[in-house]
Amino acid sequence: MRGGFSQGLQFCVVLFCTISLQACDGSNNTYVAPPPPKVRVALPLQQAVTRYFELTGNTAAINSVDIEARVQGFLESIDYRDGTTVTKGTQLFSIQSDTYQAQVDQAQATLASAQASQVGADQEYQRQLNLSRQRVTTQTAVDSAKATLDQANATILNAQASLDLAKINLGYTKVVAPFDGTVTAHLVDVGALVGVSGPTTLATIVQMDPLYVNFSVSEPQVLMIKQDMAKQGHTFRQTDLPTIPFEIGLQGETGYPFKGHLDYAAPQIDTASGTLSVRGIVDNKNRALLPGLFVRVRVPVGHEDKALLVRDDAIGSNQLGNYVLVLGKDEIIEQKQVKTGQREGPLRVIESGLDAGDWVVTEGIQQAIPGSKVAPEKVALDAAATASASNDIAPAATAPTSDAPKPGTPKSDTP
């Protein structure tokens, strides 16, 4: 009896294990693949775009000169405040003038003496001329009187020139601003002897409005401009420069808020650098710019009626250059190499490699892998360009809920 009971118990255990293994063999379970990632796609924006060359340059003062003492003397006064903006003709310095005033007085006396001598010489000549007509004097006396008169006239001219020179030197004792501008700190103190062995620099004056902007254009860019003008049937002339606008912006600021026009272009390429020197003029009435600043320069070089633009943050880069991800057949992601152009706000011009009918991935780019299937949401680019990067885009895989299995785990049909 005991042996039979043991055999029965073993049979029950084997049967239970067999049933349990059949329940766990997974023959009725199915695999749930994760859903395709959600991305936003948009067609390239087509609009008219002005093509620019984006360059770098420096601002420079149109006029910047040293104010110098041209006569010798002691500096008597400084008549401006360091760093003051002055107008043309404003007195800046005063140099000892009594010596030069005495020279003016002396020259005036010499001129008066010469004029008196000229009057006497003229009267003598007229008298000798009348006597000659009455035949009571010789021709020699007439010629001598005429020579004396001519000499008196020359003496007057010499005395007048000396007076003018003395007045000029006297005027140099009052140093004035040659044009409107800002004067630097004075370099010589009151009481110093200036102009001893030549001109003495007293300060510097800089014209602040307008300003020059100097920059260089590379040789390939010059050739591109000439080719574009040739296609339009135009020939470049220096007289056309004032009609060409340009824009500049400072480091660290957005855009190009300062406007101006071109003023000069060098007649030849610099063989050492392979560039062409160009200069423009920009207004600076509010003194926002200073001479010597590094600036970003943008010059228009052409116009395109139907340029393709995509979001700048939708463009990637690899060893081959720049690329964008586009929606292909059956919603499969494809990668296209593109040639990019200038930036227009949040957008960038695509010069080649992209078609107007391509749906470009603009958000969810990290989940869009070339060759993988996605769940696209089509949007308009003009609206997408002003939206934040992807704050409101749904994640690629939703979090599991209490009644939904985790992606990649088997879903059991057993209760």
Assigned superfamily of 34-62+213-390: Efflux pump adaptor protein, beta barrel domain (2.40.30.170)
Q: pLDDT, tens digit, for every residue of 10-37?
A: 655 555 555 454 545 555 567 777 888 9
Residue with tokens 């420069």: 241
Closest residue by Cα to residue 49 from 232, 309, 243:
309
12-13-15-16 Cα dihedral, nearest 10 degrees: 110
User: What number of other Cβ atoms are within 10 A of residue 31's Cβ?
Assistant: 9
Asked whether the predicted pLDDT for residue 392 surpasses 90, the reply is no
Q: Which two tokens stand for residue 93?
A: 């310095």
Q: What string of H, E and C letters represents the secondary structure of the chain?
A: CHHHHHHHHHHHHHHHHHHHHHHCCCCCCEECCCCCCEEEEECCEEEEEEEEEEEEEEEEECCEEEEEECCCEEEEEECCCCCCEECCCCEEEEECCHHHHHHHHHHHHHHHHHHHHHHHHHHHHHHHHHHHHCCCCCHHHHHHHHHHHHHHHHHHHHHHHHHHHHHHHHHCCEEECCCCEEECCCCCCCCCEECCCCCEEEEEEECCCCEEEEEEEEHHHHHHHHHHHHHCCCCCCHHHHHHCEEEEEECCCCCCCEEEEEEEECCCCECCCCEEEEEEEECCCCCCCCCCCEEEEEEEEEEEEEEEEEEHHHCEEECCEEEEEEECHHHEEEEEEEEEEEEECCEEEEEECCCCCCCEEEECHHHCCCCCECEEEECCHHHHCCCCCCCCCCCCCCCCCCCCCCCCCEECCCC
Q: How far apart are CA 270 and CA 215, in angstroms?
A: 13
Determine what percent of the chain is predicted with pLDDT higher than 90: 53
Q: pLDDT-derived band of residue 240, with 50, 70 and 90 as boundaries?
A: confident
Q: Which residue has the higher pLDDT, 60 or 386?
A: 60
Where exactly are the structural domains of the chain? 34-62+213-390, 66-95+174-206, 97-172
**How confident is the model over 168-187, as a mean pLDDT?**
94
109-117's contacts with Cβ under 8 Å and 24+ in sequence apart are 110/159, 110/162, 110/163, 111/156, 111/159, 111/160, 111/162, 111/163, 113/159, 114/152, 114/155, 114/156, 114/158, 114/159, 115/156, 115/159, 117/152, 117/155
**Residue entry with tokens 């007045």:** 167
At residue 201, does pLDDT exceed 60?
yes
Is 1 a residue whose pLDDT tops 70? no
Identify the CA nearest to 349 among candidates 304, 297, 301, 300: 304
Give residue 9's pLDDT: 55
350 neighbors 323 (Cβ within 8 angstroms): no
Q: What is the pLDDT of residues 326-384, one digit of tens each?
A: 998 888 999 999 999 888 888 999 989 999 899 999 998 888 889 999 999 989 886 44
Which pair of tokens denotes residue 209? 């409005």
Instruction: Tell me which amino acid residue 87 is.
Output: T
Lowest-confidence segment of 71-80, 310-319, 376-385 by average pLDDT: 376-385
- Mean pLDDT score of the chain: 84
Question: May I ask the CATH architecture of the domain 66-95+174-206?
Answer: Beta Barrel (2.40)
Q: Are 179 and 88 in contact (CB under 8 A)?
A: yes
Question: What is residue 20's predicted lDDT score, i.e. its pLDDT?
Answer: 53
What is the spatial distance between Cα 175 and Cα 78, in angstroms, rounded to a whole number?
10
- What is the C-alpha separation between 69 and 196, in angstroms, rounded? 10
Q: Is the peptide bond before 44 cis (omega within 30 degrees of 0)?
A: no
Pick the CATH number of 97-172 from 1.10.287, 3.30.70, 2.130.10, 1.20.120: 1.10.287
- Band the pLDDT of 128: cuts 50, 70, 90: confident
